[in-house]
Amino acid sequence: MATDTVYLLNGPNLNLLGQREPEIYGHATLADIEAQSKKRAKELGFGLEFRQSNAEGTLVDWVQEADAKAVGLIINPGGYTHTSIALLDALAAASLPKIELHLSNIHTREEFRQKSVTASAVDGIIAGFGAPGYRLALEALKSLVESRTT
């Protein structure tokens, strides 16, 4: 499995991690999370495409690219979690294993943040564990990928 690639996509404002509301999102920067994720992915036998965009269409393009090139997908849709039918449709069309990821527990946040429109198109959700959630998502994705190949 050493050459199997996973896409880990990050949505809007995640480039501001470490600065934006650290009491909610933590003090780790996206670069910190990327370094930790690449290390864990390698330990799990994955290559990792780690990307961030504030643009909805770019994320849709990357989901479609992942479906064509990757063994699995992890996505932190950021604010698009609650609003993006386009991202929902792209995730629903993708046949690879998919996990939605959130740093905070969206179910304990403001009412408008408690509903994920994208959740119905993924295999599972990890939320509320902060930066370590990225490691958990990679480990869960490993299990999903293995269950589909055995």
Catalytic residue among 7, 80, 102, 134: 102
Active site annotation includes 102:
yes
Identify the residue with better confidence: 117 or 48: 48
Cα dihedral across residues 36, 38, 39, 40: positive or negative: positive
As a whole-number percent, the residues of the chain with pLDDT over 90 amount to: 74
pTM for the whole thing?
0.90
- Residue 2's pLDDT band (cuts 50, 70, 90): very low
- Residue 112's pLDDT band (cuts 50, 70, 90): low
pLDDT of 38: 98
Query: Which domain, by its residues, includes 28?
Result: 4-149
Catalytic residue among 25, 82, 107, 134: 25
How many domains does the chain contain in total? Answer: 1
DSSP state of 16: G
Q: The domain spanning residue 135 has which CATH number?
A: 3.40.50.9100
pLDDT of 114: 66
Tokens of 65: 């690219």
**Calpha distance 120→87 (Å, rounded):** 11
Active site annotation includes 107:
no
